[in-house]
Structure 1
Amino acid sequence: MSTNWVNISRKLSTLKEKEFEAIKDELCGDSLLVILFGSRARGEETPLSDYDLLVIKKRRGDRVVLKWPAQIFNYTVDEVFEELSRLNTLVLDAVLEGRLLCGDEQLFEKLRREAEKIVEKQWLRKSETGWISRAVLRDGGV
């Protein structure tokens, strides 16, 4: 890898971190929860990785516009519970594998417990490629 590319990559990473901190501060000021998930939450990020955020607001109208370098997914508390029951894999990943950046820890734990119950009830398991039913694996499928 050329020295020039390494320097550009470092500068981009530094710029992303500064921009992300500003976004996080703004979101944490008026959100019930802000959860970091995806490669950055798992510690598997690359210089090109964005910041995946699940943001929970009090009301539906309190939405945030997409802001580089973050990909922001906005929900209300009721919507998160609804999406968990629908087996929305993005929401499952965020709640089960995400890191709480700010907000109500008790609410975060309540969401996590609900997601764990749903995963158990639906016989789901996380694989390298996504969520899969353990019943399918047991029966020899996939």
Structure 2
Amino acid sequence: MMRKIIVFILLAFANTAIAQTTKDRTAILEVLENQRQGWNKGDMEHYMKGYWKSDSLLFVGKNGPTYGWQKTLDNYKKGYPDKSAMGFLTFGIKKVEFLAKDKAFVLGSWNLKREKDEPKGYFTLLLRKIDGEWKVVVDHSS
């Protein structure tokens, strides 16, 4: 009898963990979708809401590492000065993996359709749940 109770309790906790992961996975995908929508409206500040607003934010791109939310925003604005340069962004999410209850890893692809070209590449993200919200704390895009 005691063994059945222990198994029941373990299953109850396992289901809670799975439910939390599903909820958090959905929240992470919403962060990325909100970023994509902001980008496609030409609203870089809206796009940046998905990032941790901290000097410790790390963005790694073709020019190497950049630290800080403001510096990342400035670089985006320099590289994509207007809606035409921003184009139309789509993501292909390949993997969302939880490293801890408040940390997740995301692997995905990005595709930018513009009038004269169509750059594309891949990204890896580290997200943290900060004050109840998922934020990108590390972005490596290529």
Q: From the two aligned structures, give the one with the greater helix fraction.
A: 1
TM over 0.5: no
Q: From the two aligned structures, give the one with the greater strand fraction.
A: 2
Query: TM-score, normalising length from structure 2?
Result: 0.32
Query: TM-score, normalising length from structure 1?
Result: 0.32
Larger Rg: 1 or 2? Answer: 2
